């Protein structure tokens, strides 16, 4: 048997479908965000990041860097063990308190990543509850889908943000069966927001537990950065709020918050929490500093909102086809995998703009896009340059512009 042939075939398949992933070699420059150095063959040049998940530039915030360096100097580079065996350092205990407080919950638990927190928590809850049925939004993130799969529980997929569909699914199952509804607040590919209040109403009526992924909202929304549930005063209606330190908080690591009882259960039963090494002091100290900063400072959120609004305005002025959702994520629709990759390549090579193409399976086929994430540090000139460059690329590739809203014909008096 030629084993290698199977791997070559698997890769060829991706090339044929124009969805082979190419990782750009990017070196972020501390203190110069959103600028970075791009290296490709013999080329080396400074580019502007327009697709970073470090939404507020907190990964380069002075106090965050300071905290990280101090922790490494005082406690060393690694944690030295799993949480259970020698790895529970004082900084992670402190961070968990900080996160529980951020969401007004009794307790919190930190994981290696947001991905692991979703996979571990959803699968563990559904295993603990006998005969549990999971109701999952059709656009949920891969990590939540993995949690649903791992649980082995029965699942019902409701159409994206479709409360009536969810209701009909809940109503069709026996009232006494344990139920878990899993969904997101900000959906990261379209930038839309889930109907949180309506879902919690249903949860109450059908006695279901609720689990929300606030990964794209923590640090960003709510007076203290506690996400959309905090902004809308709904946190106490949700059983488990999940988040990450890797996006607006600019560092790394995932977490859940909820009742002390649920958190203790996940801590005690979830394999991918138990059998892995604790995140190191430098990283945890940075995350804590970032969470604290964004709890107390609204300046980043305010500035961010302004820059997003400006960017949307400039893109619309040039009839670039954006999805105009209510959040900070601006998807520019290309609707073809090869053209999406080409547009991204031209932006990088000729305009020094980096926006990674988003193709299947991250988004459904036919909805390929460039996903733009302005930050408070993209100034007006950068936004102007982005709009002009996209317009030039659209013309060069013959991509369709948004048809301008018809204006009344000028009449000659």
Ligand X SMILES: *Cc1c(COP(=O)(O)O)cnc(C)c1O
Residues making contact with ligand X (CB under 6 A): 113-115, 118, 141, 143, 184, 188, 213, 215-216, 244, 246, 254
Question: Tokens representing 397?
Answer: 């590739």
Could you tell me the smallest distance in angstroms from the CB atom of residue 372 to ligand X? 15
CB of 349 to ligand X, least distance (A): 27
**DSSP per-residue codes, 369-413:** EEEE---TTS-HHHHHHHHHHHHHHHHHHTPPPPPPPPPPPPPP-
Dihedral sign for Cα 382, 188, 316, 301, please. negative
Cβ-Cβ contacts under 8 Å for 409 (sequence gap 6 or more): none
CB of 229 to ligand X, least distance (A): 15
Nearer to ligand X, 50 or 394 (CB): 50
- Bridge partners, residue 254, by sequence: 111, 244
Q: How far apart are CA 257 and CA 225, in angstroms?
A: 14
**Which pair of structure tokens corresponds to residue 391?**
């317009």
The residue at minimum Cβ distance from ligand X is: 114
User: Which residue has 């059983």 as its token pair?
Assistant: 239
Shortest Å distance, C-beta 42 to ligand X: 32
Q: Which is nearer to ligand X, 33 or 183 (CB)?
A: 183
Query: Checking DSSP bridges between strand 357-358 and strand 43-49, what pairing results, if any?
Result: unpaired
> Do 215 and 243 touch, CB atoms closer than 8 A?
yes
With contact defined as beta carbons under 8 Å apart, do 140 and 118 qualify?
no
**In the structure encoding, which two tokens stand for residue 280, read together?**
């190191």
Whether 316 is a known active-site residue: answer no
Nearer to ligand X, 224 or 371 (CB): 371
For 272, the 3-state DSSP assignment is: helix
Which C-beta is closer to ligand X: that of 218 or that of 387? Answer: 218
CB of 211 to ligand X, least distance (A): 12
Angle at 321 between CA 217 and CA 331, to 5 degrees: 25
Which residues, 6+ apart, have CB-to-CB distance to 82 below 8 Å?
274, 275, 276, 277, 278
For residues 213 and 239, which CB has a smaller minimum distance to ligand X in the complex?
A: 213
Contact 113, 305 (CB under 8 A): no
Using the minimum distance from each CB to ligand X, give the nearer residue, 246 or 355: 246
Considering the candidates 105, 179, 247, 312, report the single residue annotated as catalytic.
Answer: 247
Q: Are 266 and 123 in contact (CB under 8 A)?
A: no
Complex with ligand X: residue 116 or 320, whichever CB lies closer = 116
* Torsion angle in degrees (nearest 10) through CA of 33, 35, 36, 39: 170
- Minimum CB–partner distance for residue 160 and ligand X (Å): 13
Shortest spacing between CB 136 and ligand X, in angstroms: 13
What is the chain's Cα-based Rg? 23
Residue positions annotated with a catalytic role: 247
């Amino acid at each position: 048997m030629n084993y290698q042939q199977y791997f070559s075939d698997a890769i060829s398949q991706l090339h044929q479908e124009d969805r082979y992933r190419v990782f750009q070699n990017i070196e972020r420059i501390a203190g110069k965000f959103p600028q970075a150095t791009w290296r490709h063959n013999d080329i080396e040049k400074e580019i502007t990041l327009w697709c970073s998940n470090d939404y507020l530039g907190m990964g380069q915030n002075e106090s965050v860097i300071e905290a990280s360096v101090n922790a490494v100097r005082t406690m060393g580079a690694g944690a030295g063990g799993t949480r259970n065996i020698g790895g529970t350092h004082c900084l992670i205990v402190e961070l968990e308190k900080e996160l529980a407080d951020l969401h007004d919950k009794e307790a919190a638990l930190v994981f290696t990543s947001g991905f692991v927190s979703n996979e571990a928590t959803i699968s563990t809850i559904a295993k603990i509850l006998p005969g549990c049925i999971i109701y999952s939004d059709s656009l949920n993130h891969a990590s939540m889908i993995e949690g649903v799969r791992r649980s082995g529980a029965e699942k019902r997929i409701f159409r994206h943000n479709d409360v009536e569909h969810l209701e009909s699914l809940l109503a069709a199952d026996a009232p006494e069966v344990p139920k878990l509804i899993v969904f997101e607040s900000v959906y990261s590919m379209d930038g839309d927001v889930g109907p949180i209040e309506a879902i919690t109403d249903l949860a109450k009526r059908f006695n279901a537990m609720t689990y929300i992924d606030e990964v794209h909202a923590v640090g960003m929304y709510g007076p203290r950065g506690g996400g959309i549930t905090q902004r809308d005063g709904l946190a106490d209606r949700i059983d488990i709020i999940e988040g990450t330190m890797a996006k607006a908080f600019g560092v790394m690591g995932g977490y859940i918050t909820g009742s002390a009882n649920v958190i203790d259960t996940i801590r005690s039963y979830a394999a991918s929490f138990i059998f892995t090494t604790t995140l190191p002091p430098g990283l945890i100290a940075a995350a804590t500093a970032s969470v604290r900063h964004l709890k107390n400072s609204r300046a980043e959120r305010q500035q961010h909102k302004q820059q997003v609004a400006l960017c949307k305005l400039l893109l619309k002025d040039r009839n670039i086809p954006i999805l105009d959702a209510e959040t900070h994520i601006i998807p520019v629709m290309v609707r073809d995998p090869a053209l999406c990759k080409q547009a991204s390549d031209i932006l990088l090579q000729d305009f020094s703009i980096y926006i990674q193409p988003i193709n299947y399976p991250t988004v459904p086929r036919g909805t390929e896009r460039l996903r733009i994430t302005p930050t408070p540090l993209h100034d007006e000139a950068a936004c102007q340059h982005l709009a002009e460059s996209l317009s030039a690329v659209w013309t060069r590739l013959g991509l369709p512009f948004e048809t301008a809203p018809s204006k009344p014909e000028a009449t000659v008096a």
